[in-house]
Structure 1
Amino acid sequence: MGEPGIDYHAIFEASPSATLVLSPAFVILDANPAYQQLLGRTREELTGRNLFDAFPQEDASEPADLQASLRRVLENRTQDVAGFVRHAIEEPDRPGVFTERYWSPVNAPVLDSGGRVALVVHRLEEITDLVLASGPDVDHRRRQMQLELYTRSRELQRVNERLRKANARERQVALALQEAMLPAPQPLAHHEAAVRYRPAVNTLNVCGDWYDVTQLSGGDYAVAVGDVVGHGLAAAGVMGQLRSALSATIRVVDGPAAALDGLDMYARSVDGALSTTAVQAVVDPDGRRITYSSAGHPPPALAGPDGIVRFLDAATDPPLAAAPDHTPRPQATAGYNEGTTLVLYTDGVVERRGEDIDRGLRRLADRLAEHRSLGAEDLADSLMGLGLATDDMAVVVVRL
């Protein structure tokens, strides 16, 4: 457990903190001298007894609070602080005279190699001086207020710890949800593809941006990105519905425009989907053609091996469900040369508050031209560096 030669039992014996070692059933296994002196009991009088039998209380709320704290240690395997407890202690030099004293118990687990609680360390912090800070003639109401303030501070510590653990669990659930809705892309038959997404800071690791890379029958493949308005779990829930719907639709319709038509009609029935943007592209590797359609989304970029960057903006329509009536969406086709890179992205890559989007598009074009020799994975990492941490981001890079 530590450096060789350290006598941990001697440390336990010499510790000035009053400490018990408990079994998971709360039986006292050992008591250090500080604890024995503080409570006026010998080790023989304490060991082998249940903690609550050794120190019965008239006020049932005190052992109940301590028991709850110890149970939390067993369940959560982390340190926990109980509310104050009080004992009437016989004064050493005045037999038959008892003084009421107050402690705050701190409980901590000792785990075995399997991560189970093997022992519980129960340490007492005496707070009698705090309670009786004004001397023996202190007003009863003032004493009660001191006790109440101290107890509430301890309760607040426990509440904060429970909130921290709840937030950690929520983050784990949110991350698992996001990973399930945004799986790794399918391998493409002819080209290398890389995807990235990054939620905005303080959004539980989830966002409303999405990507999709789908190998279609016949050798073509579909690439899409989209962006739901908002952040966090609500946006991620809408994102999951729209991404799944578009991924299914592009497999059964003729082209990107028809896929976005179907998605537009579906989005009108989904709460929170209004004004979602998306772009769908289908790559024909045999004919070296890209057919695409956009619903209010920033235009895909084509970076040639010569460093020239084109933006595919010839088939742009309003965002999903934004128009009063559904109308068929436009579609366009662009050719490409071998060695070209196709990039789809969300607005977090190019937009900054107070800045014209043309400047963001220029930054993207410059980065693509500068790093055109990079592989898809490295280029995706580089493009993520263009955005700010305050916005969601998603990127798809395909080396054609």
Structure 2
Amino acid sequence: MSTGIDYEAVFRALPGGAVLLTPELVILDVNEAHLRLSGRPRSVQIGRYLFDVFPGNPDDPDASGARGLEASLRRAIATRAPDAMPLHRYDVEAPGRPGVYEERYWTTVNAPVLGPDGEVTLLVHRVEEVTELIRARRAESGVERERMEAQLYSRARELQDINDRLRQVQAREREVVLALQAAMLPAPRPVGHHRAAVRYQPAAGTLNVCGDWYELTDLPGDRMAVAVGDVVGHGLEAACVMGQLRSALSAAMLVTSGPARALEVLGLYARSVDGAESTTAVQVSIDWTAHVVSYSSAGHPPPVLLHPDGTVEFLDRATDPPLGARPEHVARPEARTPFAEGTVLVLYTDGLIERRREDIDVGLTRLADSLAHHQGRDPESLADALLAELLPPGGAADDTALVIIRL
């Protein structure tokens, strides 16, 4: 139900300066208070990179305002939490006087706005100018000036302490989530007389740890069921949902006739689990006697077969929407494909291939090229090579689960 509140009018009327930024730090909107503080019209700000509109002072080698602000904005994106900057100097180019910078002092808070998928969609950059306070402080003498400096320093330290405590809490939550995931995910082990190489790589951000999982189950005869899945969301809630769904799918693998039916059972169960909506999963059943794999996907990136001749085949002929995406139960598709001895099966979650502002096909091509390049490696060394080659140097923004089996 609409509240009847005109939030655009509220934004423009805020008494403190506020700027809306994209995650790429492009200015989307500014309020009236910020227009007055900056002395620049809206027309020269909207659609431009923040530091093109407000560059640092090139004539002052000690000027750190722009660097400090960018670092704070990046922290807000990485942690998905507000980042408060202590009192800092950030000189601003005088309106109408190019190259002439005015000494200005500010307090700043940068807050991320998260979308439904938990990703940062906007940044709110809130600024308050305290230049006059600094000038008044300078005009005062002796003990009074020292007292005000002490107060300002104390306030800055309080803000820094708050940030430090917040980061400590986030770090502890990350440790708890990782420990919980490690306890719930199966350890590498032989399944029947076959062995899989499995990897779980946590996301780089403090609270980005998600609900990725894998599962391997021995089936009657010389058969195996293997699955990977990805719960939407981050942190403890996603990890708990992951544990419930993984256990349910493990049981369904044992009692159903194939991957499609197992995912149907999992989808029905997911309707009763809060937070399980839009979870993706893929299951593959391997029959070594018939040399056939059967598979079904619920909105998940396709598994891959690396054939002995070096060709790469994506298993994408049985793809359906994620769990809980349909209001009514519908039978899921299932496909079968033969394999030759020595073929390698690869299942993974989207952290291995997806990058922001990049089409998923680019990531799939990158995966195929890497697999072909490392043709002939054993599963363990192939798993290490894929993670080293495909994940960003600083770590991915999403978790990565990886399972590799030589067929």
Please state which band the TM-score falls in when normalised by the shorter chain: 0.5 to 0.7
Question: For 1:218, what is the secondary structure of its paired residue?
Answer: coil
- The alignment yields a C-alpha RMSD, in angstroms, of 2.6
Counterpart amino acid of residue 256 in structure 1: P
Q: Residues 236 and 227 from structure 1, CA distance in 2 versus in 1: closer, same or farther, beyond 3 angstroms?
A: same
Q: Mapping of 1:125-136 within 5 angstroms?
A: 134-135=141-142
Q: CA deviation at 1:152?
A: 4.6
Q: CA deviation at 1:333?
A: 1.6
What is the alpha-carbon distance in structure 2 between the residues aligned to residue 312 and residue 215 of structure 1? Answer: 21
Query: 1:188 maps to which residue?
Result: 191
Q: CA deviation at 1:336?
A: 0.9
Counterpart amino acid of residue 209 in structure 2: V
Q: CA deviation at 1:203?
A: 4.0
Q: Residues 350 and 172 from structure 1, CA distance in 2 versus in 1: closer, same or farther, beyond 3 angstroms?
A: closer
Q: CA deviation at 1:296?
A: 1.5
Alignment of 1:383 with 2:386, yes or no, is yes
What is the alpha-carbon distance in structure 1 between the residues aligned to residue 167 and residue 200 of structure 2? Answer: 26
What is the alpha-carbon distance in structure 2 between the residues aligned to residue 173 and residue 248 of structure 1? Answer: 26
**8 Å contact from structure 1 (residues 298, 347) kept in 2:** yes
Query: 2:337 maps to which residue?
Result: 334
Q: Residues 360 and 147 from structure 1, CA distance in 2 versus in 1: closer, same or farther, beyond 3 angstroms?
A: closer
- Identify which of 370, 390, 396 aligns with 1:367: 370
Q: CA deviation at 1:342?
A: 0.3
- Identify which of 382, 397, 400 aligns with 2:404: 397
What is the alpha-carbon distance in structure 2 between the residues aligned to residue 163 and residue 145 of structure 1? Answer: 27
How many residues align structurally? 265
For structure 1, which segment, 308-317 or 200-209, has the greater mean C-alpha deviation from structure 2 after superposition?
Answer: 200-209
Alignment of 1:324 with 2:331, yes or no, is no
CA deviation digits over 1:270-300, x for unaligned, max 9?
2222221111111112222211111121211
CA deviation digits over 1:345-387, x for unaligned, max 9?
1223233344433332222222111212111111112222324
Q: Residues 387 and 159 from structure 1, CA distance in 2 versus in 1: closer, same or farther, beyond 3 angstroms?
A: closer
What is the alpha-carbon distance in structure 2 between the residues aligned to residue 358 and residue 154 of structure 1? Answer: 48
Q: Mapping of 1:111-126 within 5 angstroms?
A: none
Counterpart amino acid of residue 245 in structure 1: A
Q: CA deviation at 1:391?
A: 2.7
**8 Å contact from structure 1 (residues 367, 383) kept in 2:** yes
Query: 2:230 maps to which residue?
Result: 227
Pair member with larger Rg: 1
**8 Å contact from structure 2 (residues 379, 404) kept in 1:** yes
Counterpart amino acid of residue 179 in structure 1: A
What is the alpha-carbon distance in structure 2 between the residues aligned to residue 143 and residue 369 of structure 1? Answer: 68
What is the alpha-carbon distance in structure 2 between the residues aligned to residue 257 and residue 282 of structure 1? Answer: 10
What is the alpha-carbon distance in structure 2 between the residues aligned to residue 161 and residue 312 of structure 1? Answer: 47
**8 Å contact from structure 1 (residues 174, 205) kept in 2:** no
Counterpart amino acid of residue 272 in structure 2: S
What is the alpha-carbon distance in structure 1 between the residues aligned to residue 146 and residue 363 of structure 2? Answer: 64
Q: CA deviation at 1:186?
A: 3.2
Query: 2:296 maps to which residue?
Result: 293
Q: Mapping of 1:51-90 within 5 angstroms?
A: none
What is the alpha-carbon distance in structure 1 between the residues aligned to residue 355 and residue 164 of structure 2? Answer: 37
Counterpart amino acid of residue 231 in structure 1: H
Query: 1:346 maps to which residue?
Result: 349
For structure 1, which segment, 151-160 or 316-325, has the greater mean C-alpha deviation from structure 2 after superposition?
Answer: 151-160
Alignment of 1:277 with 2:310, yes or no, is no
Question: For 1:334, what is the secondary structure of its paired residue?
Answer: strand
What 5-or-longer segments of structure 2 have no aligned partner?
1-139
Q: Residues 164 and 308 from structure 1, CA distance in 2 versus in 1: closer, same or farther, beyond 3 angstroms?
A: closer
Q: CA deviation at 1:147?
A: 6.0
For structure 1, which segment, 352-361 or 239-248, has the greater mean C-alpha deviation from structure 2 after superposition?
Answer: 352-361
TM-score if structure 1 supplies the norm length? 0.60
Q: Mapping of 1:80-119 within 5 angstroms?
A: none
**8 Å contact from structure 2 (residues 230, 279) kept in 1:** yes
What is the alpha-carbon distance in structure 1 between the residues aligned to residue 314 and residue 243 of structure 2? Answer: 27
TM-score if structure 2 supplies the norm length? 0.59
Alignment of 1:218 with 2:226, yes or no, is no
Identity over aligned pairs, percent: 64
**8 Å contact from structure 2 (residues 320, 333) kept in 1:** yes
